Amino acid sequence: MDPNQPSASSFQYLLIPADATKAVSSTTFAGESDEQLRHTITQYFRSQASLSAGQRQELKSNIVARATANAEKHTVKKTENEELATTDSNASAAVALQGPSSAAAEDDTTAAAAAEQQASRMTSLAEDFVDQTSFEIVPVVMPTRKNRFIGTSLYIDDAGRFKELPVNTRASTVAQRDIRGDAFMLSNYDDPAVDEWKRVDTTPETYEELYKNPPQSQLDTSNQAAMSAATIHRENDAKRISVEDAAKGLEAKADGNKFFVGGDFKAGVQAYTHAIELLDGRRDLHANAAELEQTLVTSYVNRSLCQAKLNLWSESLLSARAAVELDPSNAKGYFRIASARAALKEFHEASLALQACELRGGSADDIARLRAEIAEGSKQFQAKQKATYSKMFA
């Protein structure tokens, strides 16, 4: 076993046949090197269907065409720069020394030889690529904190289209893209904060859930914007919080409470913001993770209240939404959303948020009071609009 290759203990993975009449089946990998797993998958695809002579030639031609087009882009740019750097006097001197016909002939011969050499090299590389084709990894679910760092991918034949393999409708649904031929579904645990990566079981239930509820967005590795966003998300998941900063975060939240009680809402906003910044990261890695999580949620809710006291309604709304994103069961967060929406004259949205607050056990008295305010505010707003329109069309 290569010591540089990650080890792979026993785990399950799935085979999704292209033939929809065949059931999705589970296979257990005995637990050797990850290299052996990849070899097993590669051999499966190579034995599944071989490229015909015509398909091999088409694939090679496609590879050469892409490589040539890419090379031409760089060549054109380089040639343009060289032409700008060449003066008329240098050109005249060259013609005088060599003669017009000999200089042109030599240039043509050199260019032809270089082109032939380049074409030969590209063809050789294309042949090597075709001979070594194995599989393509299609990301389906990225490992994040929300899914406990369990990522899922499909392993597919990377020459499936050239082999004219049938469309795998089930795998295509899961991946939200065209998949040809059989596909393997594998999962892995990948937590960047603790630098741990390992294969984990992929169960039939994993497939069923992804088939019924495919990811909302396709993970396209060629989409730089999407991959940049994924990278930023990944970096956030890797952000650790020191023990010292965690303690300071608790203190900052306590300071915010004191400022609020004292009526200094501006200082309260600053203190709660400081707590939020200190606790932004991997709270789950601390022994008091639950306390840190609750402190962060409360800091968002309390900051929203302080911002409301300062009539900063848009900011108050953002803080409250951050709170319920962290804790969807937080009734106070939804109450603060309803208050901010009402102040911004978004009465329908305010009513919906108030309903969510009520469903989560919010204070009945506070809900009744705000509901009456929303009803009155909506009534006055509609009357004002009606009066305005009456004047416009009088």
d(CA 293, CA 246): 11
250 and 167 inside one domain: no
Structural domains of the chain, count: 2
Local structure of 302: helix, strand or coil: helix
Final residue before a domain boundary, out of 192, 223, 254: 223
Confirm if 296 and 275 have CB atoms less than 8 A apart.
Answer: yes
Confirm if 29 and 13 have CB atoms less than 8 A apart.
Answer: yes
| DSSP type of residue 180 | B
Local structure of 350: helix, strand or coil: helix
Residue 284 lies in a domain: yes
pLDDT level of residue 93 (50, 70, 90 thresholds):
very low
Contacts for 378 with CB less than 8 Å, ≥ 6 apart:
347
Residue 235 lies in a domain: no
174 and 267 inside one domain: no
150 and 270 inside one domain: no
Chain segment 114-125, per-residue pLDDT in tens: 666 766 666 665
Which residue in this structure is represented by tokens 């999705």? 24
Which residue range(s) make up the domain with 329? 243-392
Written as one string, the DSSP assignment of 80-113 is: HHHHHH--HHHHHHHHHHH-HHHHHHHHHHHHHH
Confirm if 240 and 199 have CB atoms less than 8 A apart.
Answer: no
171 and 271 inside one domain: no
275 and 178 inside one domain: no
Q: What is the dihedral of CA 259, 262, 263, 269, to 10 degrees?
A: 0
15 and 55 inside one domain: yes
Chain segment 158-198, per-residue pLDDT in tens: 888 877 899 999 999 999 999 999 999 999 999 999 889 99
Whether pLDDT at 387 is above 80: no
Whether pLDDT at 157 is above 70: yes
162 and 46 inside one domain: yes
Residue 228 lies in a domain: no
Residue 269 lies in a domain: yes
Confirm if 272 and 303 have CB atoms less than 8 A apart.
Answer: yes
What is the percent of the chain where pLDDT is above 70?
Answer: 73
> Of 210, 318, 188, 301, which Cα lies nearest the Cα of 253?
301
pLDDT at residue number 6 = 54
For position 360, which CATH number holds? 1.25.40.10
| DSSP type of residue 177 | S
Chain segment 238-262, per-residue pLDDT in tens: 899 999 999 999 999 999 999 999 9
d(CA 116, CA 312): 70
Chain segment 345-372, per-residue pLDDT in tens: 999 999 999 999 999 999 999 999 999 9
Written as one string, the DSSP assignment of 207-268 is: HHHHHHS--SS---TT-HHHHHHHHHHHHHHT----HHHHHHHHHHHHHHHHHHHTT-HHHH
pTM above 0.85, yes or no: no
Contacts for 76 with CB less than 8 Å, ≥ 6 apart:
none
